[in-house]
Amino acid sequence: MVDVARPGERIPIASDHAGFELKERLRVVLGALGYEVEDIGTHSTASTDYPDYAHPLSQQVSDGTVERGVLLCGTGLGMSYVANRYAGVRAAVAWNPEIAGLARKHNDANVLVLPARFVSDEDAVAILKTWLETPFEGGRHGARVSKIEQTNEQNGAVSPGSAS
Ligand code: RB5
């Protein structure tokens, strides 16, 4: 389970070209908050492919090298598609602080994905801080989160078409 803010923790951050400028801003914010930031790239506004940045960050979260990370692309969608293919990664696209808070409280989101073309810099900073500082509520949400990695059969769900 991801804990609340822990200054000194290493947090990787990555974006494609669409998220580059906002990444540069959030990198500074994370550093000012006391986190050790690992900037995976991209390092300019030159056109890039978002999976090239989502894969290395998601791998680190999945294998436990880090507890959490931050991804940015234009809509947040491409980055989240890649990240959520990794075991144990729960990547949440958040476009306001309330969504970011709920992604932590209810979903224990360990990757924050920002839709850089659809949030202001100020909102992005508020979203980031909320995600960093909001604890997971556990309880019934813990039971639900633990089912994410299970199969349909393990969850006792009825397969489509099998109900009589
Ligand atoms: C890049 O133009 C854009 O497609 C990308 O940043 C992202 O929004 C994809 O999901």
> Which pLDDT score is estimated for 2?
57
Protein residues whose CB sits closer than 6 Å to any atom of ligand 1: 16, 18, 50, 73-75, 77-78
Q: Whose CA is nearest to atom 3 of ligand 1?
A: 74
Residue 73 is a catalytic residue? yes
Query: Residue range 87-97: average pLDDT?
Result: 98
> Which pLDDT score is estimated for 131?
98
Query: Residue range 132-154: average pLDDT?
Result: 94
- Asked if residue 126 has pLDDT above 90, the reply is yes
Euclidean distance between CA atoms 56 and 39, whole angstroms: 11
Euclidean distance between CA atoms 132 and 6, whole angstroms: 9
Rounded (5°) CA angle 65-105-68:
15
Can you point out the beta strands (E) in 19-157? 36-41, 69-73, 91-93, 111-115
Identify the CA nearest to 92 among candidates 119, 124, 131: 131
- Asked if residue 3 has pLDDT above 60, the reply is no
We report the CATH number of the domain holding residue 46 as 3.40.1400.10
Q: Which two tokens stand for residue 129?
A: 């801080």
Residue 55 is a catalytic residue? no
CA of 158 to the centre of ligand 1 (A): 36
Total domain count, the chain: 1
59: three-class secondary structure by DSSP: helix
CA of 10 to the centre of ligand 1 (A): 26
Q: What is the pTM of this model?
A: 0.93
Atom of ligand 1 nearest to the CA of 78: 10
Q: Whose CA is nearest to atom 10 of ligand 1?
A: 78
Say which residue, 160 or 77, is predicted with more confidence: 77
- Structural contact between residues 52 and 82, judged by C-beta atoms closer than 8 angstroms: no
CA of 75 to the centre of ligand 1 (A): 6
Atom of ligand 1 nearest to the CA of 75: 8
Phi, psi (deg, nearest 5) at residue 72: -140, 135
What domain range includes position 20?
Answer: 10-149
- Whether residue 64 is contained in a domain is answered as yes
- Whether residue 123 is contained in a domain is answered as yes
- Whether residue 44 is contained in a domain is answered as yes
- Where do we find the tokens 């801003």? 25
> Which pLDDT score is estimated for 20?
98
